């Protein structure tokens, strides 16, 4: 890509309003051009094959073929298109699976405009980009792998290792203090939908169903 060429982009998300919002954001940068859109993973693969965009911004949850499998197919096909995962979920499972599939980046939908555009340019230049919360997940996983090994006491069962993202920890602490999702969203300057997603991921990760169970589990694991 020369300095006079635009960075061409495909948007894959099953919600048209979301695609329109992302497109409007990208169009604020004259060096970027959205050349194709897709509402599901299968359509995204077809358009990537025909249009060969520089980048593909792919939502995790899509019908027919989810975002992670779509990324894997793009990489396995040998395409020069660099996929970036965009999601409202910062769960460790999604992040690690996206990276294993070959994603060049993982961004959250509440990422700022400045960070979003910076990530686009970095990936277009051959680098990888992960937002701060996502980088923390990767660092924790790396440290976990370094410290994992056979137990010094084989008779003792391993202590469960659960890592919360910075945002999940904030949501948990405020939820345990009695704040509602709306109040947490206001305090953290995030949307209620984003807080609901963090809370869902948190409860799923800790395998609890209500605040009482969350409090007991968090205490048992030394999270509070």
SS3 category, 212: helix
- CATH, residue 182: 1.10.10.10
Query: Domain boundary at 88, 116, 136, which?
Result: 136
Backbone angles phi, psi at 31, to 5 degrees: -90, 0
- Using a 10 angstrom Cβ sphere, with 0-12 exposed, 13-18 middle and 19 or more buried, the burial of residue 13 is buried
Please indicate, yes or no, whether residues 126 and 208 belong to a single structural domain of this protein. no
Please indicate, yes or no, whether residues 28 and 102 belong to a single structural domain of this protein. yes
pLDDT at 132: 65
Q: 115 in a domain, yes or no?
A: yes
Please indicate, yes or no, whether residues 12 and 112 belong to a single structural domain of this protein. yes
- CATH, residue 88: 3.40.50.2300
SS3 category, 106: strand
Please indicate, yes or no, whether residues 30 and 78 belong to a single structural domain of this protein. yes
Q: 125 in a domain, yes or no?
A: yes
Q: 156 in a domain, yes or no?
A: no
Domain of residue 119 covers 7-136
- Tens of pLDDT along 66-88? 999 999 999 999 999 999 999 88
Q: 224 in a domain, yes or no?
A: no
pLDDT at 109: 85
Q: 143 in a domain, yes or no?
A: no
| Cα Rg of the chain, angstroms | 19
Please indicate, yes or no, whether residues 92 and 187 belong to a single structural domain of this protein. no
pLDDT tens digits in sequence order for the chain, 224 residues long: 444 589 999 999 999 999 999 999 999 999 999 999 999 999 999 999 999 999 999 999 999 999 999 999 999 999 999 999 998 877 777 888 888 899 999 998 888 899 999 999 999 999 988 876 666 666 566 555 555 554 444 444 444 456 778 888 899 999 998 999 899 999 999 888 888 888 888 888 888 888 888 888 888 777 87
The stretches of the chain forming alpha helices (DSSP H) are 16-26, 41-51, 67-76, 92-101, 113-124, 132-147, 166-176, 181-188, 192-206, 211-220
Q: 69 in a domain, yes or no?
A: yes
Please indicate, yes or no, whether residues 73 and 128 belong to a single structural domain of this protein. yes
Distance of alpha carbon 7 from alpha carbon 158, whole angstroms: 49
Please indicate, yes or no, whether residues 34 and 110 belong to a single structural domain of this protein. yes
Q: How many domains does the chain have?
A: 2
Please indicate, yes or no, whether residues 193 and 86 belong to a single structural domain of this protein. no
Is the separation of the CB atoms in 45 and 74 below 8 Å?
A: yes
Q: 82 in a domain, yes or no?
A: yes
């Amino acid at each position: 890509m020369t300095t006079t060429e635009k960075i061409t982009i495909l948007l894959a998300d099953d919600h048209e309003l979301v695609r329109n919002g992302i497109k409007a954001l990208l169009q604020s940068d004259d060096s970027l051009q959205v050349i194709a859109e897709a509402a599901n993973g299968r359509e995204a693969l077809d358009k990537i094959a025909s249009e060969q965009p520089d980048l593909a911004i792919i939502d995790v949850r899509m019908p027919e073929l989810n975002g992670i499998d779509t990324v894997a197919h793009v990489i396995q096909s040998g395409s020069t298109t660099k996929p970036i995962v965009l999601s409202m979920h910062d769960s460790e499972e999604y992040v690690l699976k996206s990276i294993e599939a070959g994603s060049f980046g993982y961004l959250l939908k509440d990422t700022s405009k400045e960070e979003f555009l910076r990530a686009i340019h970095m990936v277009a230049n051959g680098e990888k980009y992960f937002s701060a919360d996502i980088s923390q997940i990767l660092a924790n996983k790396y440290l976990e792998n370094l410290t994992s090994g056979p137990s010094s006491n084989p008779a003792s069962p391993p202590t469960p290792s659960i890592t919360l993202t910075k945002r999940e920890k904030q949501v948990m602490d405020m939820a345990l203090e009695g704040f509602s999702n709306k109040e947490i969203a206001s305090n953290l300057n995030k949307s209620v939908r984003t807080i609901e997603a963090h809370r869902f991921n948190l409860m799923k990760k800790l395998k609890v169903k209500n605040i009482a169970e969350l409090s007991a589990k968090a205490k048992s694991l030394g999270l509070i």
